[in-house]
Structure 1
Amino acid sequence: MRRILVLAPALVLLAGCGASTQISGTPAPAPTSATGSASAGLPPDPQPAKTADCPYLNSLAVEDANGQHVSKVRVSDDKPHPACFFYRPDGHLQLTVQVYVGKADVATALVNKVAPIDTSNPASDPAGWKGGYQPSGDGVVYAVSKGDAAVIVTSNQKQSIKARKVAKNAIAALKL
């Protein structure tokens, strides 16, 4: 019995070492299902294609939510809703918003790709939307879906409330 008491603190310490959270610049891998990889059939990650205003979020709303000035906005060629990329004055990316409308299973898989249900914190804001948020790279990702729509926001800020506010603004503006 005495040996167990002496070893217990060491076991607790060792158990804590294996459960570290790693923040990397790449999103978590997509989970797999019984029918294969969740990434099968998912659209490719959006890429900035041209400098233009975001059709569903203005720069002032992003500045207010994310807490940084926006010097440039680029959009992807995705239809019907392009992804929007907001840049800081130093030229670095500060925030992206991806909107998907199509198939419900794809919308859910996109959210699970960046905020897997097993590792992310649950998200349910705005009402009726479900997904998750978690650290991503040097910031955070907030991703939710509802029916056939998904909204994914990545921010260089660590506070998820900032990304959540942007997601809610995008959802309201698009009337999703």
Structure 2
Amino acid sequence: MKRATPALVLLLCATACSTSPPKQQVTIPTSTPPTATPQSTDQGPPTTPEPVADGPCPYLDSTFVADANGQHVTKVRISADKPHPACFFYRPDGTVQLTVRVYVGDAKNAKALVDQAAPIATSNPASSPPGWKGGSLGQDKSSVYAVAKDVTAVIVTSNQAQSTKPRRVAEKAITALGL
């Protein structure tokens, strides 16, 4: 019996490797949702934003928020929303004390977001700053102030019962953003 030469073995291996069928590329769908919440959709208002990164808030100073809401701010986180991220201000115990959401898209969605946050049927009318309309609602352990103007909505929620606190923050955010 003849022995195979190393060149023959190499040739056989190369031939065997090259005749195998090509591997199919498998595309695995990802179940991870996008990190940015769209600011405007044809299917209605965007979903509620989530904090994804540490702050600061680009349009509100944490010292102002601490004074307006009456609690020390220990951390600020922001959402991935563009052009204006939602801002989440935290208390010393690690819970959110105040959230500011700015929506810029279309008038129908802006109004829907405001009505969702402070329903017309159950909230007090809100009209500050001038030209903005929406609702405010104070409850035992929370409050909201939500207003819209044209294609923009500003929604502020607080862990305080007085709706004057989120109103003050909303007015400051609107002014700071030049809206």
Normalising by the smaller structure, the TM-score range is 0.7 to 0.9
| Aligned counterparts of 2:118 and 2:55: Cα–Cα separation in 1 | 28
| Aligned counterparts of 1:76 and 1:66: Cα–Cα separation in 2 | 20
Give the gaps of 5 or more residues in structure 2. 1-42
Select the structure with the greater relative contact order (CA < 8 A; seq sep ≥ 6): 1
| Aligned counterparts of 1:84 and 1:115: Cα–Cα separation in 2 | 19
| Aligned counterparts of 1:45 and 1:93: Cα–Cα separation in 2 | 15
| Aligned counterparts of 1:79 and 1:120: Cα–Cα separation in 2 | 28
Q: What RMSD, in angstroms, separates the aligned Cα atoms of the two structures?
A: 1.4
Q: Tell me the percent identity.
A: 64
How many residues of Structure 1 are paired with residues of Structure 2 in the alignment?
138
Give the gaps of 5 or more residues in structure 1. 1-39
Aligned counterpart for 1:110 among listed residues 108, 113, 126? 113
| Aligned counterparts of 1:154 and 1:129: Cα–Cα separation in 2 | 17
Aligned counterpart for 1:101 among listed residues 89, 101, 104? 104
TM-score by length of 2: 0.75
Superposed CA offset, 1:103-159 (max 9, x none)? 011100000011111111000011110000113672101000000000000000001
Superposed CA offset, 1:43-65 (max 9, x none)? 01000001110000010110110
| Aligned counterparts of 2:89 and 2:168: Cα–Cα separation in 1 | 15
Structure 1 moving runs of 4+ over 4 Å: none
Q: Do residues 142 (structure 1) and 145 (structure 2) align?
A: yes
Tell me the equivalent position of 1:124: 127
SS at match of 2:80: coil
| Aligned counterparts of 2:87 and 2:145: Cα–Cα separation in 1 | 15
Q: Return the index of the structure with the highest Cα Rg.
A: 2
